Every structure is written in structure tokens, then in C-alpha cells.
Structure 1
Amino acid sequence: MSWLVTGGAGYIGAHVVRAFQAKGIDTVVVDDLSSGRRSFLTDDERFVQGSILDGRLLEDAFEKFHVQGVVHLAGFKYAGVSVKRPLHTYQQNVAGTSMLLAAMEAKGVDRIVFSSSAAVYGTPDVDLVTETTPKHPESPYGESKLIGEWLLADQARATGLRHTSLRYFNVVGSGTPEVFDPSPHNLFPLVFEALLDGRTPRINGDDYPTPDGTCVRDYIHVADLAEAHVVAAQRLDAGEPIEPVYNLGSGDGVSVGEIMRAVAEVTGIAFDPEIAPRREGDPARIVASGELAARDLDWRMRHSLTEMVASAWEARRSAPVDNV
């Protein structure tokens, strides 16, 4: 028996696969490699190249690899771009999730861990986001993740599907030098690429009502995130009680200014960030409580900010030039 990881060749997915393997749980990966990389997977990895929109491919994988559960990470993950490509976002994230659930039902696969997003909250007006904070997504991406949660809940009522959804903000760091974050939209890669190109990293606004004037966000280490996915899967396997949603939050957050200072220290490249105007819609602070996940999923922040930056920098510098 094995767990299928959709999007398992991506930055987060490859870490989830490694976390399962570390616990001795067999995995199989389905990924269309639109953003994932085959090189992120180990040589002996069971890999199926294809889209979650291909129901027959999914059903064949479930049957061939004796799949007992799914970790669903595949999707279009760029919130800003989703505003310009709403139909593509809904096709990948909503139609894809629907197709996956249909294939699961057809083959009797009855448990799923869904990688959701804190984008479902939009811009909350509370200091600390909890699972009951009202949901007001502000992009097709955030909307698609919320719809995904609804699909799981509806399917659970209809078929007894066992499920949970994990919501989180900014994932950083690396658990292995072989896997780095290649996204052109995330803060760490943007800062690293600027430094490697001899450019000065940029901060969007330094006049927010925060301790150093820069935005405060949740930044969590990808290996900690991966571990939470495995524990959630283990609870589903064991038939233990599990909540429908969990926030994987730090509880206190880190400012963009703090990140810049940590990057300068870790890399040894001294720089003063360029200060650009605020980006429209950027709230001063968004931080989530991880108390519920700590209770049930052994969730905790196992890595300091310095460790997050150092592991991410090592993985980026280890990447082959033709793989960046």
C-alpha cells in the first residue's frame, strides 16, 4: 500500500515525498512537470508523468500502486498571476481536484490530505488568524483553494471520505541541498537571484505600523510543513480524530526587514535593501496561530530564521546552472 502525492516533483511536494520515505511509507508521485522537476525526486522514486485532469491516468495509478491515500499538492499556485489567468487557475485547481476526487471514489481511495492556503483568508482584520477567522479570498487562487476545501467536505458527506486541509502562508528553506525553491514569485528566490545577479534586493514599503516598518508574515520551513503532512496522513490511516482544517502558523511572524538582515548575515553579502513604494493591498501583518496543529499534528517551528535562510541559500547555490 502507498500514498500518492500529486505535485510531488515540486519544491514542497519533493519534501513531502522525502518525509514519507523517512517514515518508511511508500509513495508514488503524479506530476505533469509544468513547474515540478524530475531532478527533485530520487532515482528510485515511483513516478507517473501526467495531469490530475486525466482521470484514467489517476485511476490506473491508484490500481497499479495500491494507493490507500492521497496528498494533494498539485495546482496553479501563483496568486498574483491567477488574477490575470482565472480560467486556467480554476481548471487546474478546481476541475483538477474534482477529477482527483472522482478517481478516488471510483477506486475506493477514501483518505486525503489537501494542501490548502492561507490565501483563503484574504486580508484578515485580526492580529492572529485562527481556523475560524472569516474567509475572504482576494484572488482566483485563494478562491480555488477554498472551493477545494468545500469539495472535500461535500464528498465526505456523500461518501464518508476522510480528509483534512492544511492552510499555510510562506514556505521557505530546504531540507536537502537537492531541492530548492525555483519560484519567480517568492521572496527568498527573488532576494537570492538579485544578489547573485549583482542587484540590490527590494522591500516594498518600510512605513507600516510594525516594529521595523516592514510587513510581518508567517514564514515556515518546508521540512516542518512536510512533516505535518505525514502526521496528518498517519492520523487518517489510523482512523484517529482529525479536524477538517489546520493552520500551520508560527504564532508570531517575521518581518521582511528581519529576513533581509538574516540574508546579509548568512550569505556574507552586505547590502542595504532598496525601498520601493508599498504594494496595493499588502496588509501590515498576517500571522496565524498553529495551536490546533500543534495539538494534533506535532506541528512546531523546528527551524530558526537563520536556519531557514541558510538551508535555502545552500540549496540554491547547489543547484546546477541548467536547472535554475
Structure 2
Amino acid sequence: MFIHIQIIFYLLFFSLSTSFAQSESKAIVRAGKHPDYIRVVFTAPIDILNKSSVVLQSSGVIKIDLKSVKNLDVQPIGLLTENSTIEIMKGLKISSKDNLFFISYENIDDISVSKLSNPPRLVIDIYSFTKKSTEEPGKIAEIDKELKEPIVTQKIDTLLLDAGHGGDDKGLLGSSFSEKDLTLSFVKELSTLLNKGGKKVILTRRQDHLLTLKERNGVVKTKKYDLLISIHVSSRGDLLIYSLNKKLSHTGQSHEENAIDYKDKLLVFSEALGKELENVVTVKSVDIVPTMFLGIKRLGFLIELPNPNKFNYDRKNKERLISAIVKAVNSIE
């Protein structure tokens, strides 16, 4: 009798273990188009996503290693099997080979990767700087409508520094870093140097905690400051600068003669930064407006720091990056 019970127990245990292993190997992927980027979202068990890796290869193809996942449910199309390719949306293809997944899209210039835990998701935003937006004019008008009455100041006394990601949102992960930790430590040191130069600084977060996009936008829209700088980490070895503004006048109309050209501010800022960081890192300005801070009424930049896997963050280089940003801030006053 005891032997029979043992056999039944082992059979049940084996069955449950097999079911659990099978459930771990399942993953779902969806894709959607935004005005400035393509978003691809993988949903899978948290332990699989924690071990996953995403690399933008020199060929412009994104390689995704989901470890134990072999078959991918591409919604709403169907199952992606080994050595096959599915077009998720126009121009965006995902293929499988040797237990790895590959995403190809026309003119991939950069990606942003986030790992979220509630629910478990791997989020890849694909940027194509050279590809013109095909967004409908009506939708673009709606976005422009939200950007009204920018308050422009020549003197920059107060800065709002935003450390990207935080808490469960780890951002980009590498062999020896997480984006949420790097951005926070960088922003704190940048704040200290700005304070020494007589600037007032407000931080969106001072600790490792999650700020939802709504909460982050709430801080951006309610605090009083002259310049917003949001710090993130690039998947590449370059330093990238995005303007967070469109060209608008005080009445929100871009065609008036007194309209403020924020693109000029971006050019001055990036040139100053490039001069300070010559022979340290390549600085590039990006002529697109990220939609994460839609409706910002102050001058703002989003800076993607070079990836630590491709840039040496020793004490000297980190101090040069921080010092260069402070000097670039002074250059646009």
C-alpha cells in the first residue's frame, strides 16, 4: 500500500513539474505603433524575463534571448515556430532561429528596453530617426493642441532633474548595471554640481521607487522650473539628446514670428556638450520629440547616457559627463 502511494505521489509530482516547466516556456508578443516609435511587448513568467537579454546588433537587427522559451505566440497572428518568420505589422518582422528571436524593421537606429514586473513584461521601444512619421494629420494636430502656452525664460535658475525608471521598472539591464540605479546616482551627482554653481534643483525621485508615467508627468507639469533634464541610458555607446519641446509661441501657435525655436536650443546644447566631451564619447542630437512628457511648458531635454557595456564609467569619465552637462546648461542661457 505504501509503495502504491509513493508511486502515485511521484506521478503527481512529475505531472505537476512537467506542467510547470511547460508553462514557463510560454511567451506572448504584441506590437503597436506610436508617433515616434514602435513598441514591442513580450509577456512571460518573471523568472524568464529576468534572465532574458536584448541586443541591437550592428546589422540593425534586434536579438532577443528568452532562455527557455522556444515557441512564441505572436498575437493576433499565431504561433512562431523554430526557423520561421512572422510579420507582426507592416515592415516589422520577428523570426526564430537556434532558440533565439530576431526583430527586423526598416532603419532601426536605437532601442529602449524595460523590464516590468507587474505584470511581467519585456518592453522594447524601437526608434527610427531617419524614417518619416506616417501619423495621420488629425492625430498630430491633437498632440500639438496639448502643447499650449509654453513659458520660456532666458535665465535658468531652477532645474527639474528626472532619473528614468525606478522600483520594479528596472529599465535597461546589463552585465554589471541597471538603468534605474545608474540614472539615479548620476542625477544626484549632477544635482550636487549644479547646486555648487548656484542653481536650484528639483528631483522627480530621490530613492529607488517606481513613478508611474502619470505621477512623473504630474511632477513635470506642476513644479516650477526653467529647464527639465530627463536622464536615461542608451543601448549604444553614444550619448543621445532629444528635445522635449516643439516650436511654439506663447499662444501655442507655431507660425508666429515670435515663436521660440526649441530646435535651436537643442542645437546649442548638443554642440556645447559635444565640445566638452570631444575624445570621450560621441554626442548626437535627435530630431524627434518623445511623447513621454506631452504638454511640457518649459524647455526640456532627454539625455540617453552611453551604455556601460560600451563606455567606461570610471570616476574620471563620469565626472567629465556631469561637468559637461553643467557647462552645456550654462551655454543656453
Q: TM-score w.r.t. structure 1 length?
A: 0.27
More strand per residue: 1 or 2? 2
More helix per residue: 1 or 2? 1
RCO comparison, higher one (Cα < 8 Å, 6+):
1
